[in-house]
Structure 1
């Protein structure tokens, strides 16, 4: 009986390893070459990640990104968020809810998502929540009246990598490896690790889906 149980356990482990190492990479490479799922400017990337929930425990976190810039191996992503209305905070961080994540997976092509400049979010009067809708944003971006979903837009999508250290830190925020996305279905960030040149992070996040 013990031998049979051991054989079953080994078989399950082998099937799981085969699925992760052979089947999933094959399906990913097949999908990434189709027009609906290939990586390009404007693509939406869905990713579930494990993160701290503010205490000692971990939880699933749900992220939706939009590709706003591609230069060589640098792929810049912007988080899809929803502006809060009034004093009700919709999202406290960059992640979204499991429910919204599932809904947007199915209908994101029909949802109005507005690109808002960084200056309009953070460069105005102090004391306001940059993630809260107000009359200024409604006047400048009328589409927000239809949907409060937005992303931080990049005005200059062909800008070179800056030389100033502080500007470089900002530049490499949410910049990921194109090769890792296309070949492995993974989000691997380019980071500045106390060095002048960027390097790939050791942290790897899995991509659920790319949609165009």
Structure 2
């Protein structure tokens, strides 16, 4: 038989765990959405052209948990509910291993949340980035055309005019998200094109918008 003392300890432990769960649920369901909506009405954090959107995206599988991609986007177009995002990346030095991955380490992500407005983030045209097969590497051509890269190697890709032409849906709807879902739900939900060339929200690809900074 369990002694009264052991029963009391189990009861206290159960109540403590339950309270922690309630506090966590209130934080996620009530407090965070409230603070997000409040921030959306401030000049520093409202969604607008030129905003930086930070997203900690869960890429965990059924066998692994706690794996995240830390991404930063630049808002380069707002057209009604359509918001086009361009990933912020850092050009590689010549001897660095080649990669097209746009995710940052957790430490760099946290640092950029505090300092990105102090950095030069160049908008590089798609044609220039791929003109001489840069492979996302800093070179003399880019340095000459985009002098700000001498101060900071961070950049985002400007899209071609065709990709901003809504009359060509197959090209337009790339990295285009719902403005309403970002503001109201704190979610990055992309648009995709159906077989009938009709845009629809791909809700199963939804990811969290963690932070917006102007």
TM-score by length of 1: 0.86
* Larger-Rg structure: 2
Q: State the shift of 1:15 in Å.
A: 2.2
- Corresponding position of 2:207: 205
Q: State the shift of 1:170 in Å.
A: 3.0
Higher helix share: 2
The whole-number CA distance in structure 2 between the counterparts of 1:117 and 1:210 is 24
* Residue 65 to residue 90, structure 1, CA distance change in 2 (3 Å): farther
Return the structure number with greater relative CO, CA threshold 8 A, min gap 6: 1
The whole-number CA distance in structure 2 between the counterparts of 1:71 and 1:157 is 15
Is residue 70 from structure 1 mapped to residue 71 from structure 2 by the alignment?
no
Which residue of 103, 119, 140 maps to 2:111?
A: 103
The whole-number CA distance in structure 1 between the counterparts of 2:157 and 2:189 is 20
Any runs of at least 4 consecutive aligned residues in structure 1 with deviations exceeding 4 A, and if so which?
155-159
The residue matched to 2:135 in structure 1 has which SS? Answer: coil
Deviations 1:134-175 (A, max 9, x none): 111111111111111110014659944133xxxx33321111
The whole-number CA distance in structure 2 between the counterparts of 1:109 and 1:5 is 46
The residue matched to 2:190 in structure 1 has which SS? Answer: strand
- Corresponding position of 1:161: 166
Is residue 22 from structure 1 mapped to residue 30 from structure 2 by the alignment?
yes
Compute the RMSD of aligned alpha carbons. Answer: 2.3
Consecutive unaligned residues in structure 1, runs of 5 or more: none
* Residue 194 to residue 36, structure 1, CA distance change in 2 (3 Å): same
- Corresponding position of 2:5: none
Is residue 184 from structure 1 mapped to residue 185 from structure 2 by the alignment?
yes
- Corresponding position of 2:16: 8
Q: State the shift of 1:11 in Å.
A: 2.7
Deviations 1:178-206 (A, max 9, x none): 00111121111111244421111122211
The whole-number CA distance in structure 2 between the counterparts of 1:93 and 1:194 is 29
Q: State the shift of 1:91 in Å.
A: 4.8
Indicate conservation of the 8 Å contact 2:54/2:210, yes or no: yes
The whole-number CA distance in structure 1 between the counterparts of 2:105 and 2:11 is 45
Which residue of 126, 133, 141 maps to 1:118?
A: 126
The residue matched to 1:80 in structure 2 has which SS? Answer: strand
